[in-house]
Structure 1
Amino acid sequence: MAVPRLATNDLARVAVFAALTAVLGLPGAVNLFGAVPVTAQSLGVMLAGAILGPWLGALSISVLLVLVALGMPLLAGGRGGMGVFVGPSAGYLLGWILGAMVVGLLVRALGRRTWASVLVAMVLGGIVAVYAVGIPVQSAVTRLPLSATLLQSLVFLPGDLLKAALATAVTMRLARAYPRAFRTTVPAGAGRQSGHPE
C-alpha cells in the first residue's frame, strides 16, 4: 500500500502548528507537586487537531516531539532531549499526539459546529485522551498508586478547561472568518480536494 504524499501547503501547516505549540511554551511552566509542569502548550495541541484534522494535527505534534527528542529546547522552560521522555511528564507528551488526533476526529465528525459540540471535542481529546495516557505513565514513573496520581492530576483540570474554552473560541471564530483554514487535502487517488470546513 502506497503511503500518501503530503501537499506542500499541508507540510507548511504542519510546521506552523509545530512552531505554534513550541511558542506557547515560551511563558514557561509551573511545576505542581514537583512532577508535571503546567504549560500553555496543550492549547496548541487542541488547535492543531481542530484546525488541521486528526492526521495532520497528530503529525504536527509528532514533529515537535521528534525535535524535542533530538535535543531542541522546545518544551516549556527550555526543556528538551530524551530525558523528558522518561520523566513523570512523558505520558502527557505522548498523550498530546492522541489528543490532537481525537480532537481532529471529533471536530471533523460534527455535522454542524456549535460552541458546545466543539468544546466537548476539546475536552474529550485535549484533556481526557491526554490524561488517559499521562496519568498511568506518571503513576508508573513516580510509583504512586494510580488513584493517588489521578487525584493529584485533578489540580490541572481548571487550567485545562480554560484552555479548552479558549481553543473552542479560536476554532469557532476561525471557522467563520476563514473556513479555508480547515481544508484538508485528499491523498492522491482518493478523489478531489475538499474546500469546505470538515
Structure 2
Amino acid sequence: MTLQSSVARIALFAALIAALGLVPQITIPFAGGVPITAQTLGIMLAGLILGPWRGAAAVLVFLAVVALGAPLLAGGRGGLGVFAGPTVGFLIGWPIATIVVGLVYRAMPEARPILAGVTASVVGGILTLYAFGIPGLSLVTEMPLAKAAAVVGVFIPGDILKAFIAAAVAREVRRARVLA
C-alpha cells in the first residue's frame, strides 16, 4: 500500500468516525454523562478494516481535530473540555481499543470472518475500551469504581450489536477486495 493510499484511508476513517457522530446520541440519566453513540462502531471498523496501526492513526487524527474544537463527537461536542469530562477514559481508550481490535482480528483464522470480527470487536472495542472508560468515569464523577462498572453495563447490548455489524461490514469489505 502506498503512502498516499494509507493517508487517504486514514482520513476516510477519521471522517467516518465523525459521520457516525451525527447519529443522535442516547443520553441515559444514570450513566454519569456518558452517552450511547454510534462512534464506537467506527472504532471497531477502523481496527478491522485498516488494521491496528492505520486504524489507530485514523482515531488519533479524529481526536486531534476534536481537541482543536471541531464539534465532531456525538451531540456536537468538541474542544479540550471533552478530555476532562466523564467520557475521557473512553476517548483515551479509543486508539488502544482500535489497536487491540486490529491485532486480534489479524490473529484469527480468515476462514471464519464473522467470528473473527465479532471476537476482535468484543475484545478490543468493548473489553479494552471499558478498561479505560470505567476508571475514567469513576475518576471524573467520583463514582465508586464498582458503581461505574455497573452503570457502563447498560452499554453492553448495544456494543455487542455494533460488534456484529462491524464484523459483517468487514467481511463484505474483505470480499470486495478479493473480487477487485
2:13 maps to what in 1? 17
1:3 maps to what in 2? none
**Whole-angstrom distance in 1 between the partners of 2:143 and 2:131:** 16
Deviation at 1:113, TM superposition (A): 4.2
C-alpha offsets along residues 85-114 of structure 1, whole Å, 9 cap, x if unaligned? 000001101111111100111111223241
2:26 maps to what in 1? 30
**Whole-angstrom distance in 2 between the partners of 1:112 and 1:168:** 12
Gaps of 5+ in 1: 1-5, 182-198
Higher fraction of helix? 2
Q: Superposition pairs for residues 87-166 of structure 1, below 5 Å?
A: 87-114=85-112, 115-166=114-165
TM superposition score normalised by structure 1: 0.85
Gaps of 5+ in 2: none
**Whole-angstrom distance in 2 between the partners of 1:81 and 1:61:** 16
**Whole-angstrom distance in 1 between the partners of 2:166 and 2:86:** 26
* Greater C-alpha Rg: 1
What is the Cα-based RMSD across aligned positions, in Å? 1.5
Aligned residues of 2:118 and 2:167 also touching (Cα < 8 A):
yes
C-alpha offsets along residues 121-158 of structure 1, whole Å, 9 cap, x if unaligned? 11001111110001001101111111111011100000
State how many pairs are aligned: 176
2:48 maps to what in 1? 50
**Whole-angstrom distance in 2 between the partners of 1:132 and 1:180:** 38
**Residue identity matched to 1:134:** G
